[in-house]
Amino acid sequence: MIRLGLTGGIGAGKSTVAKTFVERGAYIIDADKIAREVVEPGSEGLAALVEAFGDDILAADGALDRPALAAKAFVDDDSRQKLNGITHPLIGARTQALLDAAPTDAIVVQDIPLLVENHTAPFFHLVVIVYADAEVRLHRLTTMRGVGEADARARIAAQATDDQRRAVADVWLDNSGAPEDLAAAAARIWDERLLPLEANVRARRVATPVPELVAAEPNPEGPSARLVNRLWALAGELATAVDVVDAKSVTLQITARDAEAAAGLGDRLADGGFADAGPDAYGSCDPGRPATVRVTVG
């Protein structure tokens, strides 16, 4: 099983990519959908919100009146924290329940509009960013999704920048052209990169790099910086340092806390997409991003 984070600015074309992935067999977890479900009528979440903010956050039909809630919850940090304190654990639990139910060979696609803003990129095997220029997105949102121009501009301005997205991108899907081109690019990524990556992770097998995929690396500096973050996310308390040994060959090093920690890293790295490649060495399972990870004891 692998987990893929799918994101992009509002109006970039995530829905098109998610649809293509679903057609090809993705196990989709839609963050926006879950955020709505945990506060739907009759839910524990909605009851807790009413308890915290009063029953004038309800519309006449008993459903959550979002603008009314926003008017109360976004006035100060305390109120915002109260809101997040109610919804975030429920969203987390529901997401985890869906992950637990995924088949062992699933390619889980987590569609998360605010993935970059929430700094969760390192927790995925792969992050796919859908890109379209802000003016293009503005045009599509106002003409095709009926969003008012001022509203669309405000939402775009409140989100991460293209540079912040590029810094965490393993795959960059450009949606400046026709929707069919985007769907075709997404289908190719599924067939040529995601399917082999999933099979390699499950078999704990190092990938054979595919030059065409490797050349599509989105970050001009190469993948090392984001791999450091990913290795930290995998190693956690077992590591005292994660360093880039050589950015050109994408060789990284984890310093394990002690010998026991070094032994414990093997399973975490394998599950995270770095399979055993000889004594104290691990290799990337991703055909699009070769990397070597060495483990030493500090």
- Give the residues lining the site for ligand ADP (CB under 6 A): 8, 10-16, 130, 140, 144-145, 175, 178-179, 182
C-beta of 13 vs 290, nearer to ligand ADP: 13
Closest approach of ligand ADP to the CB of residue 186, in Å: 11
C-beta of 14 vs 125, nearer to ligand ADP: 14
C-beta of 183 vs 235, nearer to ligand ADP: 183
Closest approach of ligand ADP to the CB of residue 140, in Å: 3
Closest approach of ligand ADP to the CB of residue 149, in Å: 14
Q: What tokens appear for 285 in the block?
A: 């399972």
C-beta of 175 vs 292, nearer to ligand ADP: 175
Task: Determine the Cα–Cα distance for residues 116 and 125; give it in Å rounded to an integer.
Answer: 15
Burial of 42 (0-12, 13-18, 19+ CB in 10 A): exposed
Closest approach of ligand ADP to the CB of residue 178, in Å: 5
Of residues 147, 38, 155, 166, the one with CA closest to residue 90 = 38
Closest approach of ligand ADP to the CB of residue 21, in Å: 13
157 CB neighbour count, 10 Å cutoff: 9
Closest approach of ligand ADP to the CB of residue 190, in Å: 17
The angle at the Cα of 14, spanning 185 to 8, to the nearest 5 degrees, equals 100
Closest approach of ligand ADP to the CB of residue 113, in Å: 7
C-beta of 152 vs 250, nearer to ligand ADP: 152
Q: What tokens appear for 262 in the block?
A: 């070094």
**Virtual torsion, Cα 184, 189, 194, 196, nearest 10 deg:** 110
> If DSSP codes are grouped into helix, strand and coil, which group holds residue 262?
helix
C-beta of 159 vs 200, nearer to ligand ADP: 159
Helices (H) and strands (E) in the chain, counts: 13, 10
> Which spans in the chain are helix H?
14-23, 31-37, 44-53, 66-73, 77-100, 134-144, 149-158, 162-168, 179-189, 195-203, 211-215, 224-235, 259-271
DSSP state of 190: I
DSSP string, 198-217: HHHHHHT-PPPP-HHHHHT-
C-beta of 92 vs 179, nearer to ligand ADP: 179
